[in-house]
């Protein structure tokens, strides 16, 4: 049975008492104790070879996304969480192409590099061009968002049916997406192949072609999703958003979880031949979440 240790005294003597208590413990008993701290320091039993050295080790604050852990020698330090960041993070994609896969239908193309993705569906195209990314968000995430800064550089109105689409997709039967065209902004979700669609007011032509428009698709572990858009400044994420719709569908919790990968498409609504070439530049892409252990 592990020993119980009581520490009594003033704050000034607390550290010495804790150290003395730890020194008297066996290695297995130390392993059963809770971590003890004083302001700015961690009381730790450090591996020192034949005998452990117990001391109050100063610990400076870490940075966002790091976790407090111990080195092989027993020293506390901040480090990136192995296998992900359980409490959340924001990933800014470099848009160099290495983590994106391209799927191009006839008369469409995609180029990714130097911080820019250009997606084009040429005049007369009836299909779409897609770029997909492996899911960057861990399964432990409770809330997450995908954000894309887009600029329609050709065919905003003249293509007639051209669109850009941001999706979270598991497969062809389970997904959530928002699709922006000159006519409207459409939000669609599917569970087991059964689609539900809602249509909303699109950003203006000035906003669609101004280079500062962000599209945002947000989900949560309880099946809540929202589709938003906003206009930033000088490349920054908007401080205010227009929410097109909020979904509260329990079935989406399992159908489209945090691990659904992000996709961006450019094509023609309904597969109608484009009246003019439709080109969209993706100027930035971010994935952000908060999670749980």
Identify the CATH number of the domain in which residue 262 sits.
2.60.120.200
Tell me whether residue 1 is exposed, middle or buried, using C-beta atoms within 10 angstroms of its C-beta: 0 to 12, 13 to 18, 19 or more: exposed
Q: What is the pLDDT of residues 134-191, one digit of tens each?
A: 989 999 899 999 999 999 999 999 999 999 999 999 999 999 999 999 999 999 999 9
> Is the same domain home to 133 and 201?
yes
> Is the same domain home to 285 and 141?
yes
Is pTM beyond 0.75? Reply is no
> Is the same domain home to 51 and 113?
no
Indicate if the pLDDT at residue 28 is higher than 60.
Answer: no
**3-state secondary structure at position 29:** helix
| Distance from C-alpha of 207 to C-alpha of 213, rounded to nearest angstrom | 6
> Is the same domain home to 28 and 141?
no
Provide the domain limits for residue 272: 89-291
> Is the same domain home to 228 and 197?
yes
What's the order of all strands across the beta sheet hosting 41-46?
36-38, 41-46, 53-58
- What is the percent of the chain where pLDDT is above 70? 70
> Is the same domain home to 75 and 93?
no
> Is the same domain home to 183 and 72?
no
Domain count of the fold of the chain: 2
DSSP state of 271: G
> Is the same domain home to 134 and 276?
yes
Q: What is the pLDDT of residues 231-241, one digit of tens each?
A: 999 999 999 99
> Is the same domain home to 36 and 145?
no
């Amino acid at each position: 049975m592990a020993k119980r240790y009581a520490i009594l005294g003033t704050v000034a003597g607390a550290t010495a008492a804790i150290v003395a208590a730890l020194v008297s413990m066996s290695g297995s008993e130390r392993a059963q104790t809770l971590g003890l701290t004083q302001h700015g320091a961690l009381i730790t039993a450090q591996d020192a070879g034949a005998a452990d050295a117990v001391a109050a080790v100063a610990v400076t604050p870490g940075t966002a996304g790091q976790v407090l852990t111990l080195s092989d020698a027993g020293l506390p330090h901040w480090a990136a969480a192995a296998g992900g960041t359980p409490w959340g993070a924001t990933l800014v994609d470099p848009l160099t192409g290495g983590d994106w896969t391209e799927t191009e239908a006839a008369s469409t193309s995609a180029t990714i590099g130097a911080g820019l993705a250009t997606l084009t569906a040429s005049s007369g195209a009836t299909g779409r061009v897609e770029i997909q990314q492996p899911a960057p968000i861990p399964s432990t995430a409770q809330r997450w968002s995908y954000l894309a800064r887009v600029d329609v550089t050709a065919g905003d109105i003249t293509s007639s049916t051209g669109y850009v689409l941001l999706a979270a997709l598991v497969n062809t039967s389970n997904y959530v997406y928002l699709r922006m065209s000159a006519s409207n902004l459409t939000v669609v979700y599917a569970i087991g192949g059964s689609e539900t669609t809602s249509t909303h007011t699109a950003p203006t032509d000035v906003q669609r072609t101004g280079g500062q428009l962000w599209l945002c698709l947000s989900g949560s572990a309880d099946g809540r999703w929202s589709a938003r858009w906003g206009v930033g400044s000088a490349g920054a994420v908007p401080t205010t958003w227009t929410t097109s719709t909020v979904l509260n569908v329990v079935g989406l919790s399992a159908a489209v979880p945090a691990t659904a990968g992000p996709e961006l498409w450019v094509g023609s609504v309904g597969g109608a031949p484009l009246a003019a070439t439709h080109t969209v530049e993706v100027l930035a892409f971010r994935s952000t979440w908060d999670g749980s252990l």
